[in-house]
Amino acid sequence: MTDEAKRYTRADFQSDQEVRWCPGCGDYAVLAAMQTFLADLGLDREKVVFVSGIGCSSRFPYYMNTYGFHGIHGRAPAVAAGIALANPELSVWVVTGDGDALSIGGNHFIHAMRRNLNLKILLFNNQIYGLTKGQFSPTSEPGKRTKSSPTGSIGAPFNPISLALGAEAGFVARTVDTDRALTMELLRRAHQYRGTALIEIYQKCNVFNEQAFLALTGKDQRLENRINLRHGKPVVFGRNEEKGVVLLSRGARIVDVAEIGLDAVHVHDEHAGDPSAAFALSRLSHSPQGPTPLGVFRDVIRPTYEDELQRQLRDAQERPGPASLGELIRQTGTWTVAEEASG
């Protein structure tokens, strides 16, 4: 860390607003990690913007002593896109939840990643609607009993990592709120990535969905279920790394390393241009009730929307197009509809 970077502390990024989340909420851990990360980074507070929609996580901008915008339900990526295009010098972060991003905001979410705008999306996934008091969300497991599904929810949940990879996102990662070290590392890498970076954060709602991530956070369970993705390393896990992942024609499968040998285990390549392997890894777990990958699934270079837009503008200046609106309308084909001759 340079002397210049040391000019900030976490307190410098804490706003004067009272943090109003339920005691024990996982949002506190993410907020603290972000404030510490930005202090260590040393980036001017005036160059950072947080944009949110609606939900518990969307209170985030109030608690950051930076620029911020609290938008409407599901529209945070659209607002953030405008900010990023208007001022490419800003570090733009979208803070959203599984209900905000994947329900009403679904199209904004996937198209931000498809276009590869230079913004960072933090998807807080607690698999429940917390702010509106416990309805099932787009990531709730089938059969989830809630106030809006008393006999169990129907339908398959979204897998946010699979969705992002299907939208051709260039940087896709997952962490859990209690893992501060991994969260800090992913924040750093997302900030460095030029383009849309998605970090899914499994985040505990201790009021309406407290046991959702026990498989990854419980003292006895986490060693059995956390699959830590490491670039260039075999995908193994377990107390003694006795389990491994192989890729078959029908997808990724968990095997006993002793039976197949370490050489047969899949070696993770987060920089692979083809997202098929990363997609297969994301399908190992639709819900963190068993072995679940954490870390970076994909990190590849893609042209950013901003750069392509600037290229178009330069091309337009060098090779002027139509001189008038009428000429523009007629340049790709017009049709003349003649009046039927009267008999």
Q: Return the SS3 of 213.
A: coil
pLDDT by residue (tens digit) across 117-165? 999 999 999 999 999 988 999 999 898 899 899 999 998 999 999 999 9
Does 273 share its domain with 182? yes
Residues 145 and 291 in one domain: yes
Within-domain flag for 319: no
Are 159 and 257 contained in the same domain?
no
Average confidence score pLDDT of the chain = 92
40 and 174 share one domain: yes
Task: Establish if 318 belongs to a structural domain.
Answer: no
Same domain as 148, residue 51: yes
| Residue at which a domain ends, from 219, 243, 267 | 267
pLDDT for residue 322 is more than 80: no
**Residue 317 covered by a domain:** no
Q: Is residue 331 part of a domain?
A: no
Strands (E), the chain: 48-52, 67-70, 91-97, 120-125, 171-176, 197-202, 226-228, 236-237, 243-248, 251-256, 292-299
Domain assignment present for residue 323? The answer is no
Asked whether residue 197 falls in the same domain as residue 110, the answer is yes
The three-class DSSP label of residue 96 is strand
Confidence of residue 342 (pLDDT cuts 50, 70, 90): low
- Dump pLDDT digits (tens) for 205-262: 999 998 889 999 998 899 999 999 999 999 999 999 999 999 998 899 999 999 999 9
CA 30 – CA 36 distance, rounded (Å): 10
Residues 6+ apart with CB under 8 A from 305: 85, 115, 116, 117, 118
Could you tell me if residue 329 is inside a domain? no
Domain count for the chain: 2
Distance CA 75, CA 165 (A): 21
Q: Are residues 119 and 168 in the same domain?
A: yes
* pLDDT, greater one: 264 or 325: 264
pLDDT band at 343 (very low <50, low <70, confident <90, very high): low
* Eight-state DSSP code of residue 267: B
Residue 322 lies in a domain: no
Question: Residue 3 pLDDT more than 80?
Answer: no
Instruction: Clarify whether residues 289 and 177 are in a common domain.
Output: yes
pTM of the model: 0.92
According to the model, what pLDDT value does residue 5 have?
Answer: 46
Asked whether residue 211 is domain-assigned, the answer is: yes
Q: In this structure, what CATH number is given to the domain that contains residue 49? A: 3.40.50.970
DSSP H helices, 208-304, are: 214-217, 222-225, 257-260, 276-282
Residue 302 pLDDT > 90, yes or no? yes
Please tell me whether residues 34 and 115 are part of one structural domain. Answer: yes
Dist CA 236 CA 227 (whole Å): 7
51, 170: one domain = yes
Residue 1: band (very low, low, confident or very high) from pLDDT cuts 50, 70, 90: very low
Q: Do both 153 and 291 map to the same domain?
A: yes
Residue span of the structural domain in which 200 resides: 5-227+269-301
pLDDT score of 193 more than 80: yes
Say whether both 163 and 181 belong to one domain: yes
Q: Which among 102, 5, 88, 1 is positioned nearest to 47, based on CA atoms?
A: 88
